[in-house]
């Protein structure tokens, strides 16, 4: 069975500094990976995905993620964090693509706090 781990409950970073949110995964087949962001009292917003190809994936709001197959990681990054990036971030992996429903397994979430 697939699983996702986000080892940090919270990440604190100063505005203008680089931001990294860590994610490691475990799947039996090819990994299909996603990042989402959630602001208070809102639904999750899709940021980016890795399906195949270039290991560096660019997404919305200046975010990017680096896929590393040997380390089974898919860390989210932003070169210069903004206070408005403060939110809850979720990493997710596609369940078995042969199974119906396109289900996702989500990590437990990482809260990002960007201080001015």
Partner 1 sequence: SQTIHQWPATLVQPVGSPLSLECTVEGTSNPNLYWYRQAAGRGLQLLFYSVGIGQISSEVPQNLSASRPQDRQFILSSKKLLLSDSGFYLCAWSGTTYNQPQHFGDGTRLSIL
Question: 3-class SS at 50?
Answer: strand
Number of residues that bind partner 1 (CB under 8 A): 25
Which residue from 85, 89, 94, 114 is in contact with partner 1, where contact means CB under 8 A?
A: 94
Which residue from 7, 10, 26, 51 is in contact with partner 1, where contact means CB under 8 A?
A: 51
Is residue 95 within 8 Å of residue 111, measured between CB atoms?
no
- Residue 63 pairs in a beta bridge with none
Task: Please name which of 33, 22, 25 lies closest in space to residue 72, comparing C-alpha atoms.
Answer: 25
β-pairing, 10-14 with 110-115? parallel
Query: From CA 101, how far away is CA 92, in angstroms rounded?
Result: 15
Q: Tell me, residue by residue from 17 to 46, as one string, x for binding to partner 1 by CB under 8 A and - for no binding.
A: ---------------x-x-x---xxxxxxx
Question: Which residue stretch of 17-25, 60-68, 71-79, 90-98 sits at the interface with partner 1 (rule: CB under 8 A)?
Answer: 90-98
Interacting residue ranges for partner 1, rule: CB under 8 A? 32, 34, 36, 40-46, 49, 51, 88, 90, 94, 97, 100-104, 106-109
């Amino acid at each position: 069975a697939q699983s996702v781990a986000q080892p940090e409950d919270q990440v604190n970073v100063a505005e203008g500094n680089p931001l990294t949110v860590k994610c490691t995964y475990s799947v039996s087949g090819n990994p299909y990976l996603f990042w989402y962001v959630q602001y208070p009292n809102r639904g999750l917003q899709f940021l980016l995905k890795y399906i195949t190809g270039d290991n560096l994936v660019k997404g919305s709001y200046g975010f990017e993620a680096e896929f590393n197959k040997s380390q089974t990681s898919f860390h989210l990054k932003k070169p210069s964090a903004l206070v408005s990036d403060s939110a809850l971030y979720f990493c997710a992996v596609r369940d078995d693509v042969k199974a119906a429903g396109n289900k996702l397994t989500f990590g437990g979430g990482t809260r990002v706090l960007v201080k001015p």
